Amino acid sequence: MEEIKSFPGEGYNNFKVFAGSKSQALAQRICEKLGCPLGKVHVDRFSDGEFCTYFEESVRGHSVYLVQSTCPSSDNLMELLLMIDAAKRASAYKVIAVIPYFGWARQDRKDKPRVSIGAKLVANMLQTAGADRVITVDLHADQIQGFFDIPVDHIYGSNVLAPYIASLNLKKLIVASPDVGGSKRASNFAKKLHVLTNREVPMVICYKNRPDFNQVSEIRVLGDVYGKDVIIFDDIADTAGTLCKAAEVMKENGAKSVRAVVSHGVLSGNACEKIENSAIEELICTDSLPIDVACCSKLHIESLDIPIAQTIRAIQTHTSISEMNIK
């Protein structure tokens, strides 16, 4: 992906970028691409766990971009909500929530009786706090955009992940979806690789039986992976149980190599240890969440700084961002 050019000199006078505690490093990289300073925001914490946020510089009349992933713990979401409220009360012109990883997105429907739809609840909270727009990356389900009554700019992580895979020059490339529900996502990734490599990239699907949350009892491969360089593509790696089990099954079915590509490396619990001891040769993910690369020798991180900076620039200059997205 090409580097973006700086704004004309006066272009930065009407917007500022700030970051929550979870996304400081990514926000700094975004500002470097935009050629603007990262704004100063402070969080005061009380002994009982309560905290408050305040801006250390004026935001009056500015479009304010707040970069913060809303992954658990819920403190990260609450911090973003408080920053939105503070910006509105400080007379910001517009408040744009930049949420690289949108937490609670897996709760996007009622799949059994008496459960909440967490993604819709979070959308309501962001709008009630005063967000005028949302920028996010690879939602767990595209229809979550419909939970908002404000504009949502949905960036695709494949724009930074696919070029890296293409650069590996794998001879017998094939994309695998770890479950039936992710087949559309994997298909789009295969199309992106087809464009970048100028050759057909076939796809296989895994059938997954999940008896409970974060548990996988069985995976079967629907398709031929014998002698192929398999890329398992998914949006989230949480406990990494699905990825590791799928990689094991791929190798049992004769795959030459297996790599996993995910947009969001949550990597909770002993996920890094699982990956280190698995058949996965490499785990490639974005920096939507801060990841300690030292936790696993197989990790490779691609930054979202350029596509997010491009999106901010497009919003400020009233130009289209659709060309950055693969549909």
Total Cβ atoms within 10 A of residue 266: 21
Give the type of residue at 305: D
Per-residue exposure over 143-158, b if at least 16 CB sit within 10 Å of its own CB, e if not = ebeebbeeebbbbbbb
Q: Which residues contact 260 (CB under 8 A, 6 or more apart)?
A: 231, 232, 233, 234, 237, 243, 247, 275, 280, 282, 283, 284
DSSP state of 3: P
Give me the sign of the Cα torsion angle 34, 69, 158, 184: negative
Give the span between the Cα atoms of 45 and 298, in whole angstroms.
36
The yes-or-no answer on residue 208 being catalytic is yes
Give the span between the Cα atoms of 80 and 31, in whole angstroms.
18
Tally of residues, the chain: 327
Cβ pair 249, 206 in contact under 8 A: yes
From 16, 22, 33, 208, active-site residue? 208
Q: Which residues contact 112 (CB under 8 A, 6 or more apart)?
A: none
Residues taking part in catalysis? 208
